[in-house]
Amino acid sequence: MSGDQHTARALRVDVAQTEPMPLHGRFECAAGELLALVGPSGAGKTSMLRVLAGLMRPQRGRIEVGTQLWCDSEQGIFLPPQRRHVGLVFQNYALMPHLSALDNVALALLHLPARECSAQARRWLDHVHLSLEQQQRRPGALSGGQQQRVAVARALAREPRLLLLDEPFSAVDQMSRQALYRLLADLRSDLDIPILLVTHDLNEARLLADRLVVMDAGSVLQEGPPEHIHRAPRNARVADLVGIHNRFQGVWVGPSGKAGWGLLKWVSAAGGDNGDMLLEVRDKGKIKPGQPVNWVVPGDGILLGADGIGQALEATVSDARHLGEITLASLTLQHDPQISLRITLAGPQRRRIASGDRLALRLDPALVHVMPLHQRPPGLSPD
Amino acid sequence: MDWQAFSLSIELAAVTLLVLLPPGVLGARWLARTRFSGKAWIEAFVVLPLVLPPTVLGYYLLVSLGAGSPFGAWMLDTFDIRMTFNFAGLLIASLVFNIPFIVQPVQRAFEAIPENLAEAAAVCGLSGWQTFWRVELPLAWPGILSAMVLTFVHTLGEFGVVLMMGGSIPGETKTVAIAIYDRVQSFDLAGADRMALLLLALSLGAVAASFFASARLAARR
């Protein structure tokens, strides 16, 4: 597949509205790519999906899928959902309760002659592994996972140029969830269209998505590959939204003397005077000395043991929970007991940790990410 | 037994239902799906025939449509149509009187349909009419059915408005309810008895049948 072909079917979105609810954002999704819209409830994820499906007309915006223009407020273009060829899997599936699974899927195929319509519908339901007997049942007589597969089949039967999934995994049990993850993985390789997934489950988003779009209060805060957003969140709000536990405050001191490196003063949230705890971290030259900052370090940037790269710190285990195959532990710093870190351990080293233990740890300076603290609240665009 | 009055009542009920059903269903759907500031007033007008004494309703209809009224005089002069004391007058009165019996239950039935089903239909490519015929109408059907039965039975038993607008002309405006009243007035209790019993049995049967049908439809969901 050539890159040109991917862009020729890609989704490009730019939406800006203030009424009836604020919605701002700009992102792209290539064909064959799975993009996850993440954020807390009320962040505008579902509204964004409705705009893409044509169920809501944005005040200002432009939506393109490949060469087709679906919406352009400047030219007064707004295609209704009937003319968009969107596959949308609703949060509660929105299956027609009076129609069998087969007839539900056939609804998306009404343009075909009756016989071909039901043959196609059957083919799509076979594709999502619904038995012939289940295909004749009404949604009320199907399990949650089966209903969802009917909803997916109905969305696919539309031969969509864009597939939208609204919290598709929220109402099904763990077993069905695993099966649906597999189904989604298959779909991605079979269909060469942009796929958008709305979810508030970050693990799910990380597991499935090529890229994340982080939304809050109607605005897109950051867009990028999950690992990039985890390494380098744009601001403290993004760090909180994507579940980065180890977020701290500090003051940028300035260059450390070593080229490309700078000094960061670690300050506890309570602001107590704890003497100078300085960390030497990477300096991109973007922050002025004396600037208050937030900084984060991902879990794999916290290393146990006194020897190796990074600055050694003394800590006490304040809490250790052994959950299944992993252990979650909270550590407080010897230097300033008001500062605590959270780590996740797996494998043999987790057995050695217990509440009250003292241990040495290091922060990988290359993984420390520093974000200048702005006075302006996040998510507010300047215009 | 006054079969003439009885068949007139059946005819009136059937024609009322036939004329009122299509606009009633469309109006009810519109009320169920639209939100605007003056909606409460429209809904109040829809319910008005239910709470107004039938004689008051009949009086206003008589005054506004009678040959002495400007509209009634114009209809008479232009089309030679008289709108009171004949079957047409009876029908007009019956239509107005039955508006709440059609609109209210059907509106509730449409309101009970989750809005995202219509959205799902639109995303599937269904036009507004296709969505109405294939999704909304089948789902609202139990409500529509019971509204039809109520309207029919209610028309059979109508008295006050009918008397005000139609009088009691045998074969023209004398319905079964008026016939029963006439029998009682002339102390023919045996005649009144038979007709009252028939009306009772018919009404009870129809309403019970519609409830059974609704319950069966609901059980299939």
Q: Which of A157-161, A174-178, A242-246, A328-332 has the lowest mean pLDDT?
A: A174-178
Report whether pLDDT(A377) > 60.
no
Q: Confidence class of residue A80 from pLDDT cuts 50, 70 and 90?
A: very high
Phi/psi-derived region of residue A27, left when phi > 0, alpha when psi is between -120 and 50, beta in every other case: beta
Question: Percentage of chain A with pLDDT > 90?
Answer: 43
Question: Percentage of chain A with pLDDT > 70?
Answer: 93
Contact with chain B for residue A171, Cβ under 8 A? no
Sequence-distant (6+) residues with CB within 8 A of A146 are A101, A130, A134
Dist. CA B77–CA B130, nearest whole Å: 44
CA atoms within 13 A on the CB side of B162: 27
The helix (H) or strand (E) run that includes residue B192 is: helix B189-220
Give the chain B residue nearest A153 (alpha carbons): B124
Say how many CB pairs under 8 Å bridge A and B. 62
Using a CB-CB cut-off of 8 Å, the residues of chain B touching A94 are 114, 116-117, 119-120
Model pLDDT, residue B44: 94
pLDDT (tens digit, 9 = 90+) per residue, A29-76? Answer: 999 899 999 998 888 999 999 999 999 999 999 999 998 999 999 999
Contact with chain B for residue A165, Cβ under 8 A? no
- Please report, in tens digits, the pLDDT of each residue of chain B (221 residues total): 788 888 999 999 999 999 999 999 999 999 999 988 889 999 999 999 989 998 899 999 989 988 888 888 888 888 888 888 888 889 999 999 999 999 999 999 999 999 999 999 999 999 999 999 999 999 999 899 999 999 999 999 888 888 888 888 888 888 888 899 999 999 999 989 999 999 999 999 988 998 888 888 777 66
Dist. CA A381–CA A217, nearest whole Å: 12
Q: What angle do CA A237, A239, A243 make, to 5 degrees?
A: 115
**ipTM > 0.90 for the complex:** no
CA atoms within 13 A on the CB side of B146: 20
Nearest CB partner across the interface for A96, out of B130, B135, B220? B135
Are the C-beta atoms of B100 and B47 separated by less than 8 Å? yes
Q: Confidence class of residue A375 from pLDDT cuts 50, 70 and 90?
A: low
Report whether pLDDT(A153) > 70.
yes
User: For residues A240 and A123, which has the higher predicted lDDT (pLDDT)?
Assistant: A123
Contact flag B122-A90 (C-beta cutoff 8 Å) = no
Report how far apart, in Å, the C-alpha atoms of B127 and of each of A162, B60, B195 are: 20, 42, 49
Using a CB-CB cut-off of 8 Å, the residues of chain A touching B130 are 110
pLDDT (tens digit, 9 = 90+) per residue, A325-370? Answer: 888 889 888 888 888 888 888 877 776 788 888 888 888 888 899 9
Using a CB-CB cut-off of 8 Å, the residues of chain A touching B135 are 96
Model pLDDT, residue B137: 95
Contact with chain B for residue A111, Cβ under 8 A? yes
Q: Confidence class of residue A5 from pLDDT cuts 50, 70 and 90?
A: low
Q: Give the β-pairing of A311-323 and A261-267.
A: unpaired
Model pLDDT, residue A382: 41
Are the C-beta atoms of B123 and A88 separated by less than 8 Å? yes
Nearest CB partner across the interface for B124, out of A55, A97, A158? A158
| pLDDT mean over A14-40 | 92
pTM (global) more than 0.90 = no
Query: How many C-beta atoms surround the C-beta of residue B71 within 10 A?
Result: 11
The rounded mean pLDDT for chain A is 87
Q: Confidence class of residue A272 from pLDDT cuts 50, 70 and 90?
A: low
Dist. CA A115–CA A47, nearest whole Å: 37
User: For residues B130 and A377, which has the higher predicted lDDT (pLDDT)?
Assistant: B130
The helix (H) or strand (E) run that includes residue B146 is: helix B137-156
- Residue B15 DSSP SS3: helix
| pLDDT mean over A206-230 | 91
Spatial strand order in the sheet of A60-65: A77-78, A68-72, A60-65, A11-17, A23-29, A219-224, A211-216, A34-38, A195-199, A162-166, A86-89
Dist. CA A1–CA B134, nearest whole Å: 41
Contact with chain A for residue B115, Cβ under 8 A? no
Model pLDDT, residue B205: 92
Q: In chain B, what is the greatest distance between 2 CA atoms, to the nearest angstrom? A: 67
Sequence-distant (6+) residues with CB within 8 A of A159 are A85
Contact flag A55-B119 (C-beta cutoff 8 Å) = yes
Model pLDDT, residue A88: 95
